[in-house]
Amino acid sequence: MLRLGVDAMGGDYAPEAAVMGAIQALDCVGEDVRIVLFGDKAAIEGILDREGCAHDKFDIVPTTEVIEMGDHPAQAFKQKQNSSIVVGYGYLKAGKIDGFASAGSTGAMMVGAMFVTKAIEGVIRPSISSPIPVVDGRTALMLDVGLNVDCRPDVLQQYGLLGSVYAETVLGIENPRVALLNIGEESTKGNLTSREAYELMKNSSYNFVGNIEGKHVFSGRVADVIVCDGFVGNVLLKAAESFYPIGQALGVGSNPFFDKLNYEFFGGTPVLGVNAPIIIGHGCSSPKAIAAMIKQTESTVRANFTDRLREAFK
Amino acid sequence: MLRLGVDAMGGDYAPEAAVMGAIQALDCVGEDVRIVLFGDKAAIEGILDREGCAHDKFDIVPTTEVIEMGDHPAQAFKQKQNSSIVVGYGYLKAGKIDGFASAGSTGAMMVGAMFVTKAIEGVIRPSISSPIPVVDGRTALMLDVGLNVDCRPDVLQQYGLLGSVYAETVLGIENPRVALLNIGEESTKGNLTSREAYELMKNSSYNFVGNIEGKHVFSGRVADVIVCDGFVGNVLLKAAESFYPIGQALGVGSNPFFDKLNYEFFGGTPVLGVNAPIIIGHGCSSPKAIAAMIKQTESTVRANFTDRLREAFK
């Protein structure tokens, strides 16, 4: 039995969107999966009743507090001991759930990741990554997408390994090609950090294929794992995601590539380098996005990603 | 009479594409414009003859050398004194042309910009900028897009002014909104450089509207001028441009926004902060792109952009 923890109070439209998403997820996760909802029990059951969904489809862990987007993450984590996020992390640490997903406060989720589950030994800095679509229909992984905005070169080097293990185990890509996001293909191109990172990555255990320019991030021709600092990764990811609503507004219509730029498609960004599967969803998550986030959590748990990562960093 | 210098030997498909582009440009520039071609006279005239285009439609300045993409820019600039780029810069400095455009070696073009035309007094570091389309049909400006990959905060602050003057005089946008590209809207967001730049930009003479996230770069809702360092600008620009061929390959069809992501639409990136209008085109420029680059050079010259910039930095 896989037990996936979901923050029913996380996100701008919680608990409504979170619970609706969990109901949708029932249809796409395996039969051996049990979804554990953390949140306001009465509110959750009210939505389940309205949707005609039996309560026993889920485990519900009642919580009474919510860490709001405006709260100071570290302070709120300490003070709101009965919040859905803090209680969820307690379950994760105790092994009562196998993974935890939330569209709530990214800051509070990261506090939990860093101080409750903690970084895997040997990992200098964990990362928030994002699956991205590439033209031929496959999925690539970009990291970091917003956690570490001033990366040291050795951190970028490690991101290559974090991403490589994720791409191999969770995305199922054999011997994934890892590239460094840069302004040119040549090893001498880039800023101070990227040039130093290139030299370190050249001597890595993973399949480093060199620099990748912006034009090839979504082509899929160069890399399966795109390594960058969290500043450029965040800007690029958000800009790329914006092409979905832009395309919709301009009547581009349905398209297998552009549809996956919709943030709802992957539903969340996996935190890599910590001792448990943790997925963070967009604050604005719709039910569809929540369901995708839960599905992603399932894939990460099922792949034994955390164990594989620990081995890689031994 | 406006005299626009064009490097007929610049670009992967020169002189063919460059001369064909110059012929196309005849139809879209003003009647008071004279295009001055620098390059292999016989080759240029051969193409004109083949196309049935009278030689006297252009001024041709014969040159015998070409700075290749693989040449070391500074060395080549010194050694190839009879190259189209070096001779072009000589004409520009002597006032025999009013602006200069090339799809040749970006490095050599920048050597000329920095050491022949030189930076405007008060400009710490010139910038390469790029017009970008926004959803409502207008054009915004992003800078830097690849020249300065390790920007100091005071350089970013100045980029706001460079961009603001360009947007106002060349793009015709009144009181342009200038924003700093960042990972969040709040002033405390970002990396060390962007947080410091924000504080400086807050107290600028131009219309600083705060941070802009990746998702709003192409929406047009937040800013007309997007300031960033050359690393993130280059990556973002190239990724955005890649959505045009991706869209074409996936059958998105013609669309007023996506069509402008095609590098051919604007045709080049203006160098801002130097004492003359200089436009650099893509190495792979097609005739259509060359024509657009020439048109852009015309707009920059016609707007008296260089004078306006000098005034702004007084």
Distance between CA atoms of residues B35 and B53, nearest Å: 14
Measure CB to CB from residue B232 to each of A217, A235, A258 and give the nearest one: A235
- Helix, strand, coil: what percent of chain A each, to 5? 45, 20, 40
Q: Do A214 and B192 touch (CB under 8 A)?
A: no
Amino acid B167: pLDDT = 97
CB atoms A150 and B231 under 8 Å: no
Residues B87 and B288: beta-carbon distance below 8 Å: no
Cross-chain residue pair B235–A181, CB shorter than 8 Å: yes
Claim: this prediction has a pTM higher than 0.90: yes
Q: Could you give the strand order of the β-sheet that contains A33-39, starting from the edge strand earlier in sequence?
A: A59-62, A33-39, A2-7, A99-102, A278-280, A269-272, A127-133, A139-143, A225-227, A178-181, A208-212
Query: How far B205 CA sits from the closest chain A CA (Å)?
Result: 26
Enumerate the residues of chain B whose CB falls inside 8 A of the CB of residue A190.
Answer: 149, 231
Q: What is the DSSP string of B83-144?
A: BHHHHHHHHHHTTSSSEEEESS-HHHHHHHIIIII-BPTT-SS-EEEEEEE-TTS-EEEEE-
Q: Kindly report the CA angle at B236 between A101 and A271, in degrees rounded to 5? A: 20
Residue B44 above 90 pLDDT?
Answer: yes
Chain B residues whose CB is inside 8 A of the A251 CB are 255
- Give contacts of A106 with chain B, Cβ < 8 Å: none
The helix (H) or strand (E) run that includes residue B35 is strand B33-39
Q: What is the DSSP letter of B254?
A: -
Residue B239 has its nearest CB partner, among A194, A236, A250, at A236
Contacts of A79 (CB under 8 A, 6+ apart): none
- Residue numbers in B near A219 (CB within 8 A): 242, 246
Among chain B residues, CA nearest to A212 = B235
- A14, A42, A88, A100, B109 from A18: Cα distances, Å: 5, 14, 15, 13, 55
With residue B156 as reference, give the H or E element that holds it: helix B153-169
Write out chain B residues lying below 8 Å of A241, CB-based: 214-215
Nearest CB neighbour to B242, from listed A219, A229, A231: A219
Contact between chains at A236 and B218 (C-beta distance less than 8 A): no
Judge: B181–A150 Cβ closer than 8 Å, yes or no: no
Report the alpha-carbon distance of residue A135 to residue B77 in Å, rounded.
40
Half-sphere exposure of A138 (CA within 13 A, CB side): 20
Residues B115-161: tens digit of each pLDDT: 999 999 999 999 999 999 999 889 999 999 999 999 999 999 999 99
Distance CA B285, CA A289 (A): 41
Please judge whether B242 and A192 are an interchain contact, meaning their C-beta atoms are less than 8 angstroms apart: no
Which of B234, B242, B252 is opposite residue A183, by nearest beta carbon? B234
SS (H, E, C) A11-68: CCCCCHHHHHHHHHHHCCCCCCEEEEEEECHHHHHHHHHHCCCCHHHCEEEECCECCC
Kindly state the tokens that stand for A271. 């935190």
Q: Which residues of A touch B (CB under 8 A)?
A: 135, 146, 149-150, 181-183, 190-192, 194, 213-219, 228-232, 234-243, 246-247, 249-252, 255-258
Question: B257 and A250 in contact by Cβ < 8 A?
Answer: yes
Candidates A150, A239, A257; nearest CB to B236: A239
pLDDT at B252: 81
pLDDT given at position B110: 96
User: Chain B: nearest CA to A239, how far in angstroms?
Assistant: 4
Is B41 in contact with B60 (CB distance < 8 Å)? yes
Cβ-based neighbour number of residue B64 at 10 Å: 13
At B255, the pLDDT band (50, 70, 90 cuts) reads: confident
A-B contacts at Cβ under 8 angstroms:
127
Determine the Cα–Cα distance for residues B24 and B58; give it in Å rounded to an integer. Answer: 12
Q: What is each CA distance from B82 to A295, B65, B204, B277, in whole angstroms? A: 64, 6, 43, 22
Looking at beta carbons, which residues of chain B come within 8 Å of A70?
none
* Amino acid of residue B151: C
Q: What is residue A232's predicted lDDT score, i.e. its pLDDT?
A: 97
Chain B residue at shortest CA distance from A151: B191
Work out the number of other CB atoms within 10 angstroms of the CB of residue A65.
17
Amino acid in the structure at residue A79: Q
Q: Which residues contact A156 (CB under 8 A, 6 or more apart)?
A: A180, A193, A194, A197, A200, A201, A227, A228, A229
The whole-angstrom distance between A194's CA and the closest CA on chain B is 10
Nearest beta carbon to residue A242 from set B214, B228, B230: B214
pLDDT tens sequence across B259-281 = 999 999 999 999 999 999 999 99
The pLDDT of residue B272 is: 98
Helix, strand or coil, per DSSP, at residue B256:
coil
Structure tokens at A260: 């996956």
> Is the CB of B219 less than 8 angstroms away from the CB of A246?
yes
Instruction: Give the bridge partners for A132, in sequence order.
Output: A140
A 10 A CB-CB count for A49 gives: 11
pLDDT in tens, chain A (314 residues): 999 999 999 999 999 999 999 999 999 999 999 999 999 999 999 999 999 999 999 999 999 999 998 899 999 999 999 999 999 999 999 999 999 999 999 999 999 999 999 999 999 999 999 999 999 889 999 999 999 999 999 999 999 999 999 999 999 999 999 999 999 999 989 999 999 999 999 999 999 999 999 999 999 999 999 999 999 999 999 999 999 999 888 888 788 898 999 999 999 999 999 999 999 999 999 999 999 999 999 999 999 999 999 999 99
For residue A230, what are the contacts with CB-CB under 8 A and spacing of at least 6? A127, A128, A144, A145, A146, A147, A148, A149, A151, B183
Beta carbons of A235 and B183 less than 8 Å apart = yes
**Residue B61 clears pLDDT 90, i.e. is over it:** yes
Scan for tokens 């006297």, then name that residue.
B56
Q: How many CA within 13 A on the CB side of residue A285?
A: 38
CB A200 within 8 A of CB A95: no
Residue in chain B lying closest to A192 (CA): B150
For chain B, the first-to-last Cα distance in angstroms comes to: 28
pLDDT on residue B55 = 97
Which chain B positions have a beta carbon within 8 Å of A183's beta carbon?
146, 149, 230-231, 234-235
Q: Do A235 and B236 touch (CB under 8 A)?
A: yes
ipTM: 0.93
Q: Are A213 and B238 an interchain contact pair (Cβ–Cβ within 8 Å)? A: yes
Q: What are phi and psi of A282, to 5 degrees?
A: -65, 145
Q: Do B217 and A228 touch (CB under 8 A)?
A: no
When scoring A243, A254, A255, A259 by the number of chain B Cβ atoms within 10 A, the one with the most, hence best to mutate, is A243
Q: For residue B181, which residues of chain A lie inside 8 Å, CB to CB?
A: 235
Partner-chain contact A239 B234, CB within 8 Å: no
The verdict on a CB contact (< 8 Å) between B214 and A192 is: no
pLDDT at A252: 81
CA distance A11 to A279: 13
Per CB-CB distance under 8 Å, the chain A contacts of B105 are none
The pLDDT of B53-69, averaged and rounded, is: 96
Contact flag A234-B228 (C-beta cutoff 8 Å):
no
Q: What's the gap in Å between the CA of A184 and the closest CA on chain B?
A: 9
A107 DSSP assignment: H
